[in-house]
Amino acid sequence: MTSGLSYKDSGIDLDVYNEAMGRLPRLMHRTYSPRVIPLDGGFAGLFKLDFDNPLFRRNYADPVLVSCTDGVGTKLKVAIQADRHHTVGIDLVAMCVNDAICCGAEPLFFLDYVAMSHDDPERLEQIVRGISDGCVEAGCGLMGGETAIMPDVYARGDYDLAGFCVGVVEQKELITGQAITDGDLVLGIGSSGIHSNGFSLVRKIVFDRHGLDVNAHINTLGETVADALLRPTLIYAALTRKILRHYKIKSVVHGIAHITGGGIEENIERIVPDGIQVEIDCQSWTKPPVFPWLQQMGNVETGEMYRVFNMGIGLALMVSPYYADNIRRMVEQAGFSCWVIGKVCNGSQKVVMRDQ
């Protein structure tokens, strides 16, 4: 007689899964604000749009919800090679909340989806610890998520991540880019390096062409391959919130672009209105050394580098020229690098990249 099968025989151990789930609530709770209604074990997360406490009440007049979703891409393959999984959790939050703030939104809460080849409580805890750290930095609550164990879909040790962010902004404070006008200046806020885009090319250069190990030391960078490639994406939520609250009465920030896949040109172009042209001076900021290293290693054309990577600019602000110096000082005081990298004029090309 054939013996009976169990779920464990198919590669899923419910006891290990429950152990993994038991490690996560504390990582969620540390992200909660007074607007989160705890519901451990429930089927959904609960979030109040406003505070009960009159001292902190937002008193929204015409709130607009802003939603974003994203992943980390093939940077995960590097994390798996290096067995370093915390930083990609931060990346996941950053990729979502940095999109939400482009509309002027305050990130409210975050959900994650983790798909794994097998139950691994330690690895899952590392990933969610990074997500929790990212949510704390962004000021949003980690409301819950989903962990899927799919041994027939993912090769042993592989996993994938997706994130979902919801934010809010008053209708009158919504930033769409339509206010960008002739005379505005473009402020570029520095990235930490590659962030979370272009890793298919990065991996082709570093691992396929040159066969480097993730633990190899790169003399020109003064760090290992893993350190250079897994540095987490910067989160700009607290910074933009500070700037926008400082100018709550005046509308001085006319456009915000998160520089992700497609580079500076494509991402700024997404928000520029018709009849307006943004001219970027590619010599106006300091590029992180990882970019010339990759370009030399892969013999990549300069134009291709700018199309694939952020090239050292993680966020671009189109601002009224009168306030540009003060905003730049605010950015630098918050610990970020900032440069005037371009100007806005009337024109038909939308974005012009000069002196690449």
Q: What pLDDT score was predicted for residue 2?
A: 63
pLDDT for residue 343: 98
Read off the pLDDT of residues 16-31 as tens digits, 9 standing for 90 and up: 888 888 888 898 899 9
Among 123, 149, 173, residue at a domain's last position:
173
- For residue 2, tell me if it sits in a domain: no
Do 245 and 136 sit in the same domain of this protein?
A: no
List, for residues 246-288, the tens digit of each pLDDT value. 998 889 999 999 999 999 999 999 999 999 999 999 999 999 9
Q: Give the Å distances, CA to CA, from 134 to 23, 31, 59, 126, 356.
A: 17, 9, 27, 12, 33
Angle at alpha carbon of residue 330, lines to 329 and 336, rounded to 5° = 90
Which CATH number fits the domain that encloses residue 57?
A: 3.30.1330.10
Confidence of residue 92 (pLDDT cuts 50, 70, 90): very high
Residues 169 and 189 in one domain: no
* Tally of domains in the chain: 2
* Same domain, yes or no: 202 and 317: yes
Residue 17 is predicted with a pLDDT of 82
Shared-domain flag, residues 114 and 254: no
Question: What does the alpha-carbon distance between residue 290 and residue 312 come to, in Å, rounded to a whole number?
Answer: 9
In a domain, 58, yes or no: yes
Q: Is 200 in the same domain as 52?
A: no
208 and 329 inside one domain: yes
pLDDT at 120 over 80: yes
Question: 148 with 293, same domain?
Answer: no
Domain of 252, in residue numbers: 185-354
What pTM, to 2 d.p., does this model score?
0.94
